[in-house]
Amino acid sequence: VDPPCLPNPCKNGGTCESASSAEFNCTCAIGYVGQNCEIQNFCMSSESGEDMTCENGVCIDSGLSKICSCDEGYFLDPECHTCREIMEPCLPNPCSNDGKCTPLSVDSYNCTCSEGYSGSRCTESDYCALNGGNTFCGDADCKNEPGLKIYYCSCASGQYFDYASRKCL
């Protein structure tokens, strides 16, 4: 009669110890559990070898493996099998003045600005567009005065804008 540890019944690098002439106990390698170390345990803490509670998730035992099922707002990192926070670059909305945020990746976004605003976060105002300056200036060019939140009507060199007639003279 062969001893119970020959051949080794413990899988995945587990070590076998004879408990009697017919019984054995497997000491499983970190990351495996079960009578024969046949269950891969992604919920196991590598330091202690014990089941850990999945931070920001719940450990699910499917019979073939144990894996973290992540809470809402988290995803299962395939490399380290832990729940990581989903980084949503558009929450809260970084775009000012009713700009629309479009996520490009976990940490970058693009703002589509409302009419009258520009800049990477829609913080620069186009006072001509906001205050009807393009219409008000008629045939003159409407110009924004940076930092002063005003606009003015600009004419070609040698001309001036007549506000009464709304024309360059």
Q: Which DSSP state fits 160?
A: -
**pLDDT tens digits along 47-102:** 554 555 677 888 777 766 777 788 887 877 766 667 888 778 888 899 999 999 99
What global pTM score does this model have? 0.40
Residues 144 and 127: beta-carbon distance below 8 Å: yes
Residues 14 and 49: beta-carbon distance below 8 Å: no
E strands in the chain: 15-18, 24-27, 32-33, 39-41, 57-61, 65-70, 74-76, 83-85, 100-105, 108-112, 117-118, 124-125, 141-145, 150-154, 161-162, 167-168
